[in-house]
Amino acid sequence: MPAYSLDLEGLDGNSTYVPSHDFPTAMRPGDSFKYEGWTWEVTEVATKQFDASGEPELTLRCVAV
């Protein structure tokens, strides 16, 4: 089960960071998923450029749809 950090940009323009979230399959741009009652679309899969011990190496940048 792949895990990613989430960088979520809501409809109100506010961003939320989730340190780790598991998915049943690998995610890529254009994929969508439900989280906290919202539907999110992946816009980018980014590799962390900083040491985040205990967090997944990849972050999904997402927008609410």
pLDDT tens-digit readout, 15-24: 999 999 999 9
pTM above 0.75, yes or no: yes
Over residues 36-42, mean pLDDT: 96
Answer positive or negative: Cα dihedral of 39, 43, 45, 46. negative
Indicate if the pLDDT at residue 51 is higher than 90.
no
Contacting residues for 48 by C-beta, under 8 A, at least 6 apart: 5, 55, 57, 58, 59
Indicate if the pLDDT at residue 52 is higher than 90.
no
Indicate if the pLDDT at residue 6 is higher than 90.
yes
Tally of domains in the chain: 1
Angle, CA of 21, 45 and 15, to the nearest 5°: 65
Indicate if the pLDDT at residue 8 is higher than 80.
yes
Q: Using CA atoms, how far apart are residues 54 and 27, in angstroms rounded to an integer?
A: 20
What is the domain extent for residue 55?
3-64
Answer positive or negative: Cα dihedral of 12, 36, 57, 43. negative
